Amino acid sequence: MGNCGIKIVGRSRKLRINYRTTEETRRFATSVLENIAVDDLDGGEDSISGYRSLMHGEDPRILPFASLSDEVSEVAAKIRQLIDVGEAMQNIWVTARTKRLRDQFAQQLQQHGLDTWVLEQQNDNRNTPGIRLATMHRVKGLEFRYVFIVGVNEGVIPLNAATSGTEDPVEARQRDLNERALLHVAATRAIKGLFISYAGSPSPYLTHQPGGPSNPQRHAATGVRPHPGGNRP
C-alpha cells in the first residue's frame, strides 16, 4: 500500500482471528499456502502463521475417485444426505476451477434429480432454489454452510493454461501463487463443512501439502485426511 502513497507502517494491526470458518477448515486452507510468501501490501512479505479460528467442526474431507462420473455421483449423494437432514439447497455450494467443469457438474447434478442454480455475475438471490454452482473466481466474498470443491485434479488446479507459457521465474512464482490463492479462498468460503474431490490424479496442492493423498503419515498432525466415498455426509 506504500506504493499507492498510503503509509500504514506502525499504524496497522493484523487481524489474526477468523470468525467465519472452522479451525479445521482454516488449517486445510492454510496448508495450500504453506511456505509460500504473501505480499503484505506494503512492500514486504506476510507470514500466515499465528492465525486461528474460534469455531471447531469436522475435518475437511478429501475424496478420491477413479472417474468424473463416480465423483459426480458421490457428490450428489452427499448433497442429498445434507438435504435429507434439513439443510437448505441454498446453503450448499459446488465450485470448480473452470466454467466448463462447473457446467458439467451442473448438468450431471440435475440428472441426479438435484435443482441447481449457476452463479455468473448476478447476486445470490436466496429466494431462488437450487444448489449453487460457481467458478472459484466468482465466489470471492461469498460464504456457504457447506462447500464442495470439485475437480481438484492435476492439470486443473493449478490450471495448465494459467501457469504455462513463461520462463521468467518471478512470473512463474506469481502465477503459482495466484492458483494457490484461488484454492485457499474457495476453501475458506465454507462455514461448517468442506469437501474436496478429484478424479484420477490429484492436484499437487493436495499431494504436496500436509494431509494430502501422498502424506498419510502427516494426517494426525494436520487433522486433514483423504476419505473414501462413504455414506456419512
Residue 225 confidence (pLDDT): 45
Asked if the model's pLDDT at residue 194 lies above 70, the reply is: yes
DSSP 133-172: EEETTTTTT--EEEEEE---BTTTTTTHHHH-S---HHHH
8 A C-beta contact, residue 118 and residue 106? yes
8 A C-beta contact, residue 85 and residue 231? no
Confidence of residue 16 (pLDDT cuts 50, 70, 90): low
Cell of 186: 474457495
Cell of 113: 434429480
Rg from Cα positions in the chain? 18
Q: How many CA atoms lie within 13 A of 26 on its CB side?
A: 18
- Among residues 144, 135, 152, the alpha carbon closest in space to that of 211 is found at 152
Query: How is residue 183 annotated by DSSP?
Result: H
Domains and CATH numbers, the chain: 2-226 (3.40.50.300)
What are the start-end ranges of the H helices in the chain?
23-32, 68-84, 99-111, 160-163, 169-187, 204-207, 219-222
pLDDT mean over 134-144: 88
Measured between alpha carbons, how far is residue 62 from residues 75, 118, 148 in Å? Answer: 12, 24, 10
Residue 4 confidence (pLDDT): 52
Cell of 74: 458421490
Asked if the model's pLDDT at residue 221 lies above 60, the reply is: no
The predicted-structure confidence for 151-167, as pLDDT tens digits, reads as follows: 999 999 999 888 888 88
| Cis amide bond preceding 158, omega within 30 | yes
